[in-house]
Amino acid sequence: MAIALIIQGRDVEALRLGLSQCLPATDIRIWPELGELQDIEFVVAWKCPENLLSKLPNLKAVCSLGAGVDGLLGLSDLPDVPLCRIVEDDLARQMSDYVLAQILNYQYQFNTYQQQQFNCYWQEQESVAVERVLILGVGELGHRVARDLLAHGYQVEGWSRTPKSNRDYPCFAGENAMLQCVTRADCVVSLLPATKATNDLFAAEFFAAMKKHAVFINVGRGNTVVEKDLITALEAGIIGGACLDVFKTEPLPHDHPFWRTDKLIVTPHIAAVTKQENIVEQIVCHYENIAKNQPLKFVVDKEKGY
C-alpha cells in the first residue's frame, strides 16, 4: 500500500521524512510523481487538482492536511471513501493566539497608533470596551478559543448550528439565537466552515444587529461573508471594525476593495497553519487503521461539510 502526498504550494519534505521514519517499509509518493496509480490506497491532500483522485482505483481514504476540508469537498470527482481532517492541539493554540491578538489590537487601537507614528502624531486614543465575545462555531478550534478568552477575563458565549453540550460557557443554537447573541457581543468571532448553510451567512442584517462599536473577526471561511455588505457596514459606521483572515478568493486579488477599506485588517490565511512535523503521528494512525481495516478518526460528514 502506497501513501500519496498530493499537496500544492507547500514543501512536504518534513512530512515525508517523518512518515518515512515511522513507516520505513511504506512507499511514500509525492505529487506529481505518483508512479503506478493502482498502488495508492491513502492520500494526504491540500489543494488537490481536479480529476486526480478518481484515477486512483484502490483508494481507501483521504486526509486533509489541515482542519478544513472544503477544498476537497469541492472536487467534482471526490471518491466515495472516508474523508478525514487534522485535529491537532497546536492548530487550536495558534488560532486562539491569533484571535486574542486581534481583540487586543482592536481594544487598544494599536493600528491607529501605528498610523499616528507614520505621521509623527502624538495623540492618546480611548480604548474600546470589549467585554463580551461571541464565538460562532464551537468545535475543537472554537472551543479552545472560547476557553482561552475566558481565562483572560472575557465573558464568552458560543453558537453553533446544532446544540453543543459539555461547554463551560453559555452555548446557543439556531439562526434566531445567533442574531440575539450578536446584539449582546462586543466582538463576534466566526470559525464556521464552508458549507451550503453558511454561504453568505454574514450579510447586511447580521452586521446591523451588531453593536456600533463591535468588531467582527473571521477566521473560519471566506464564503460566509457578503463582502459588499461588510464594506458598507464599515464605511457607514454600522460596526466598529473587522479583521479577516479568510476570503472568497485567495490570494485576495490586488484590486479587491478590502485592501483599501478603512477599519479593516487583512491577513493572508495565517491564523492557524499546520506544522507538518506535528501531524505525522495522526497520519500514521490513519494509515495503520486502513491497513487493519479499522474505523478512522476525525471522519468528516460530507453532507454537513465538517
**pLDDT tens, residue by residue, 11-70:** 999 999 999 999 999 999 999 999 999 999 999 999 999 999 999 999 999 999 989 999
Cα angle at 75 between 72 and 78, to 5 degrees? 80
Candidates 10, 221, 256, 260; catalytic one: 221
DSSP state of 202: B
Q: Is the dihedral of CA 292, 297, 301, 306 positive or negative?
A: negative
Instruction: Tell which phi-psi region holds residue 35, choosing left (phi > 0), alpha (psi between -120 and 50) or beta.
Output: left
Whole-angstrom distance, CA of residue 211 vs CA of residue 72: 36
Whole-angstrom distance, CA of residue 71 vs CA of residue 300: 13
Place of cell 479499522: 294
Mean pLDDT over 239-259 rounds to 98
Residue 188 CA, distance from chain mean position: 15
Confirm whether 184 is a catalytic residue.
no
Backbone angles phi, psi at 234, to 5 degrees: -75, -45
Per-residue pLDDT tens digits for 100-144: 999 999 999 999 999 999 999 999 999 999 999 999 999 999 999
In angstroms, the Cα distances linking 61 to 78, 81, 283, 290 are 11, 5, 11, 8
Instruction: Please answer whether residues 63 and 24 qualify as being in contact, where contact means their C-beta atoms are separated by less than 8 angstroms.
Output: no
Per-residue pLDDT tens digits for 151-210: 999 999 999 999 998 899 999 999 889 999 999 999 999 999 999 999 999 999 999 999
Q: Cell numbers of 38, please?
A: 493502482
Helices 13-22 and 276-291, packing angle to 10 deg: 40
Q: Cell numbers of 220, please?
A: 473560519
Confirm whether 221 is a catalytic residue.
yes
The domain over range 2-88+274-291 is classified in CATH as 3.30.420.40: no
Q: State the pLDDT at residue 165.
A: 86
Whole-angstrom distance, CA of residue 80 vs CA of residue 53: 10
Q: Cell numbers of 140, please?
A: 475543537
Q: Check if 2-88+274-291 and 89-266 are the same fold.
A: yes
Determine how many CB atoms are found less than 10 A away from the CB of residue 303. 8
In angstroms, the Cα distances linking 305 to 63, 78, 194, 247 are 14, 13, 7, 18
Candidates 10, 184, 256, 269; catalytic one: 269
Per-residue pLDDT tens digits for 268-303: 999 999 999 999 999 999 999 999 999 999 999 999
Q: State the pLDDT at residue 166.
A: 87
Domain boundaries along the sequence of the chain: 2-88+274-291, 89-266
Fold of 89-266: Rossmann fold (3.40.50)
Query: Per the omega criterion (within 30 degrees of 0), is the bond before 32 cis?
Result: yes
DSSP state of 180: H
